[in-house]
């Protein structure tokens, strides 16, 4: 199938452009492209961008807020997040009701919303532990297969409860990776001692190395400056040679670190090409995004939660996430808006090892079209795209000629 989009605006380029898509990739980007195509679309001066990417979403827990009450919310959003661990314990009750069919039903609804909002790729965390067993992992693997034509779901085997509470949790994580998890997850800060935190990090990297898959960590999800598992992850990344294959979500304690220590962490993040995924809307403490960006660290925005024990809202609209981040991070200039948009497109793609997620010749054709003409208008009006193209195929089209 070939698609020709004419009269499109592109970020960072003046005037109107044409884009030719064929065999799943962008064939040409030019001021004018002659000839025809199977499908010809007049963008009418609307903005064409890379599709949206969600590098962090707890997809197994979406739409479960009514099952757990407000206890986790109260702990997670209190002050400097010093009781975040108690929030995790309170939220674990939801796993008592886990069944594959009900997880698939909940997750499917939010995934359809994501596609309508211009998302083509999601890194989806599934709890694997003595409570959840492998139920969520297996459910999300089935959904991944079902939705493959419209949404790529990379399933993360995520040991939410840690290892120290029950040795069986570690065994279940390794079994999840054996069963074909796309990514191995970790949450070392939940362990009670530095020694156990280091062991947690080591075992996650053992699995990543054995199966040659990326690693995705939640680190230091608290305002406690004594939490230092981000550095443990970076040290192990360097030792294993896992450069560019690790994302670290949250890392909220970075906001509380002494300046010299923070500089050390920033230098390591940049050197090792480790991405930081922040979720400013889901907690009151946020990693120092501006400083990270200014120093060349790849930073992306995640959805994190959708109507679960930690966050009562969310609809997998990354425009909404970027809009909220603009306020919470005080990033409102035109350059700030462009950076925020990169954090839900190109930078988010880099965080999950998506190659060539850009509007240029030879790149995979994952793109979206809006009637609006600028990033500022997207933030102001929060529209849905009128066209979504995934791997060169149209997956959403509304009123497009």
User: DSSP for 5-26?
Assistant: EEEEEETTEEEEEEEEEETTEE
Residue 97: φ, ψ to 5°: -100, 5
Q: What is the pLDDT of residue 334?
A: 97
Residue 380 makes CB contacts below 8 A (sequence gap 6+) with: none
- What's the CATH number where 41 sits? 2.30.40.10
Here the tokens at position 341 are 């948009």
pLDDT, tens digit, 9 for 90 and up, residues 313-334: 999 999 999 999 999 999 999 9
Give the pLDDT score at 90: 75
Domain that holds residue 103: 52-351
Q: Are residues 6 and 27 in the same domain?
A: yes
| Number of neighbours of residue 65 by Cβ within 10 angstroms | 23
At 35, the pLDDT band (50, 70, 90 cuts) reads confident
Using one digit for the tens of pLDDT, what is the confidence trace for 131-152? 999 999 999 999 999 999 999 9
Residues of the chain above pLDDT 70, percent? 99
DSSP 58-99: -GGGTT-HHHHTTHHHHHHTSTTSTTHHHHHHHHGGGGGG--
Q: Can you tell me the mean pLDDT for 390-396?
A: 97
Which of 9-18, 28-37, 177-186 has the lowest average pLDDT? 28-37
34 token code pair: 């002659």
Average pLDDT, the chain: 95
Is the pLDDT at 295 greater than 70, yes or no? yes
Burial of 119 (C-beta count, 10 Å sphere; 0-12/13-18/19+): buried
Angle between helices 194-211 and 167-178 (to 10 degrees): 20
Query: 316 and 335 share a domain?
Result: yes
Q: In this predicted structure, what is the pLDDT of residue 74?
A: 83
Q: What is the mean pLDDT of residues 201-215?
A: 98
Q: What is the mean pLDDT of residues 245-270?
A: 98
Residues 365 and 388 in one domain: yes
CB 210 within 8 A of CB 272: no
Given a cut of 80, is residue 54 above it in pLDDT? yes
96, 185: one domain: yes
Q: Are residues 139 and 262 in the same domain?
A: yes
Poorest-pLDDT segment among 34-38, 88-92, 165-169, 260-264: 88-92
Give the rounded percent of residues in the chain with a pLDDT score beyond 90. 88
Give the phi and the psi of residue 227 in degrees, each rounded to 5: -75, 120
pLDDT at site 122: 98
Instruction: Please list, in sequence order, all residues whose beta carbon lies within 8 angstroms of the beta carbon of residue 272, skipping any fewer than 6 positions away.
Output: 234, 237, 238, 242, 243, 244, 246
Distance between CA atoms of residues 54 and 357, nearest Å: 13
Domain boundary among 336, 351, 366: 351
**61 with 37, same domain?**
no
Give the pLDDT score at 235.
Answer: 98
Number of domains present in the structure of the chain:
2
Record the tokens describing residue 248, joined without a space: 């670290």
For the stretch 221-257, pLDDT in tens is 999 999 999 999 999 999 999 999 999 999 999 999 9
Is 68 a residue whose pLDDT tops 90? no
Q: What is the mean pLDDT of residues 5-17?
A: 97
Q: Are residues 65 and 119 in the same domain?
A: yes
For residue 14, count CB atoms less than 10 angstroms from its CB and return exposed for 0-12, middle for 13-18, buried for 19 or more: exposed
CATH code: domain of residue 152: 3.20.20.140
Is 378 found in the same domain as 327?
no
Residue 92's pLDDT band, with cuts at 50, 70 and 90, is confident
Residues 47 and 155 in one domain: no
- Tell whether 197 and 332 lie within a shared domain: yes
How far is it, in rounded angstroms, from Cα 352 to Cα 54?
Answer: 9
For residues 63 and 188, membership in a common domain is answered with yes
Does 385 score more than 70 pLDDT?
A: yes
Assess whether 265 and 252 both reside in one domain. Answer: yes
Q: What does the pLDDT read at residue 82?
A: 67
pLDDT of residue 99: 97
Phi, psi dihedrals of residue 211, rounded to the nearest 5°: -110, 5
């Amino acid at each position: 199938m070939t698609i020709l989009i004419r009269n499109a605006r592109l970020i960072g380029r003046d005037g109107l452009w044409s884009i030719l898509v064929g065999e799943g990739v962008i064939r040409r980007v030019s001021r004018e492209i002659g000839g025809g195509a199977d499908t010809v679309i007049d963008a009418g001066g609307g903005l064409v961008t890379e599709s949206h990417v969600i590098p962090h979403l707890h997809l197994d827990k979406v739409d479960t807020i009514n099952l757990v009450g407000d206890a986790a919310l109260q702990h997670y959003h209190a002050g400097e997040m010093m009781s975040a661990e108690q929030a995790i314990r309170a939220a674990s009750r939801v796993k008592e009701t886990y069944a594959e069919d009900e997880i698939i039903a909940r997750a499917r609804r939010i995934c359809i919303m994501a596609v309508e909002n211009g998302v083509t790729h999601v890194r989806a965390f599934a709890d694997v532990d003595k409570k959840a067993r492998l139920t969520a992992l297996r459910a999300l693997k089935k959904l991944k297969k079902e939705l493959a034509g419209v949404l790529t779901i990379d399933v993360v085997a995520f040991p939410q409860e840690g290892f120290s509470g029950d040795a069986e949790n570690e065994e279940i994580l390794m079994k999840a990776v054996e069963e074909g998890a796309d990514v191995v997850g970790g949450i070392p800060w939940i362990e009670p001692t530095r020694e156990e935190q280091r062991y947690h990090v080591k075992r996650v990297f053992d699995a990543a190395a054995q199966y040659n898959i990326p690693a995705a960590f939640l680190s230091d999800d608290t305002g406690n400056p004594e939490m230092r598992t981000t550095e443990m992850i970076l040290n192990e990344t360097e030792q294993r040679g896992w450069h560019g294959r690790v994302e670290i979500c949250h890392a909220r304690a970075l906001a509380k670190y002494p300046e010299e220590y923070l500089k050390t962490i920033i230098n390591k993040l940049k050197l090792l090409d480790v991405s930081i995924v922040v979720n400013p809307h889901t907690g009151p403490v946020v990693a120092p995004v501006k400083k990270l960006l200014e120093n060349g660290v790849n930073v992306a925005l995640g959805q994190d939660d959708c109507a679960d024990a930690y966050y009562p809202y969310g609809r997998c609209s990354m425009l909404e996430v970027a809009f909220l981040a603009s306020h919470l991070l005080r990033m409102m200039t035109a350059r700030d808006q462009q950076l925020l948009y990169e954090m839900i497109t190109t930078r988010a793609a880099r965080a999950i090892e998506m190659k060539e997620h850009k509007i240029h010749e030879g790149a995979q054709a994952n793109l979206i079209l809006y009637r609006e003409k600028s990033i500022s208008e997207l933030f102001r009006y929060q529209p849905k795209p009128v066209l979504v193209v995934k791997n060169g195929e149209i997956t959403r089209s509304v009123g497009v000629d």
